[in-house]
Amino acid sequence: MSGVFLDIQGIDKRFGDLVVLRQINMQVKDGEFLGIVGRSGCGKSTLLRLVAGLETPSAGRLLIDHQQLTGINTAARIMFQDARLLPWKRVEENVDPGQFNTGEDVNQILESVGLLARKKDWPHILSGGQKQRVALARALVSNPKLLLLDEPLGALDALTRIEMQHLIVKLWQERSFTGLLVTHDVEEAVMLCDRVVVIDRGQISLEIGVNVPRPRLRGSTEIGKLCQVVLDHVLSSTAI
């Protein structure tokens, strides 16, 4: 299993008169984990949707392993803040509705996210954190080369959030997919990612490498300094 090389070349995105993204140029290496932060409304989700092939660029192009993306990005899976589980399907059926599974054992992925014992349960009895684990298992069961995370942990309590962060890093290390994580939590971006970009008014205004070996220590001086740089930059960016 591996990831993809993502090459974003001069992307603009407009909705009518509204210019959401302007001249985005960015490369994400095969297997890299990139964090994307920025004020609400700056265009983070739009960028992820473009990479997923759910939106088309107004200008520029997007290459996946050197091939221009023209429709849905079949290499990618996306995970949102809400789990979006089907209430009428049990946990195991939510993970594998039978459409994409390329053979990975549903039991195996449920075991990886710590929910094997809950596979026959209905989604409504699960906690918020457990639902997100199911959503993560569903995103990963087809062994995607690219995982797009749009504030996946935004609605979770602090402790569950930290546990989920560890789980995401563990699965990324095991599977080597390319990851894009949109988050409002600067510390989360710095703890999880190889590199963090800040988007300000539709443009990349800061790019910073997190050259800290894993496992990373929350509260360490190195992590703290990087968080401060990113946070200061976000705070000085323009409110929309």
Ligand X SMILES: Nc1ncnc2c1ncn2[C@@H]1O[C@H](COP(=O)(O)OP(=O)(O)OP(=O)(O)O)[C@@H](O)[C@H]1O
Complex with ligand X: residue 40 or 102, whichever CB lies closer: 40
Residue with nearest beta carbon to Mg ion: 45
The distance of closest approach from Cβ of residue 38 to Mg ion in the complex, given in angstroms and rounded to an integer, is 9
Look up tokens 């053979």; give the residue.
103
Contact partner, 20, from Mg ion, ligand X, none, Cβ < 5-8 Å per class: ligand X
Q: Is 130 in the site for Mg ion (CB under 5 A)?
A: no
Q: Which residues contact 198 (CB under 8 A, 6 or more apart)?
A: 37, 38, 204, 205, 206, 207, 230, 233, 234, 237
Pairing relationship of beta strands 18-28 and 6-15 according to DSSP bridges: antiparallel
Q: Is 171 in the site for ligand X (CB under 6 A)?
A: no
Contact partner, 152, from Mg ion, ligand X, none, Cβ < 5-8 Å per class: none
What's the rounded Cα separation, in Å, for the pair 131 and 84?
A: 9
Number of residues that bind ligand X (CB under 6 A): 11
DSSP state of 56: -
Contact partner, 40, from ligand X, Mg ion, none, Cβ < 5-8 Å per class: ligand X
What's the rounded Cα separation, in Å, for the pair 184 and 179?
A: 16
Task: State which of residues 15, 56, 207, 236 lies at the interface with ligand X (CB under 6 A).
Answer: 15
The distance of closest approach from Cβ of residue 47 to ligand X in the complex, given in angstroms and rounded to an integer, is 7
What's the rounded Cα separation, in Å, for the pair 119 and 92?
A: 5
What's the rounded Cα separation, in Å, for the pair 30 and 97?
A: 28
Contact partner, 215, from Mg ion, ligand X, none, Cβ < 5-8 Å per class: none
What's the rounded Cα separation, in Å, for the pair 199 and 196?
A: 10
Task: State which of residues 3, 11, 45, 52 lies at the interface with Mg ion (CB under 5 A).
Answer: 45
User: For residues 41-60, which are near ligand X according to CB under 6 A?
Assistant: 41-46
The distance of closest approach from Cβ of residue 200 to ligand X in the complex, given in angstroms and rounded to an integer, is 10
Contact positions toward ligand X, by CB under 6 A? 15, 18, 20, 38, 40-46
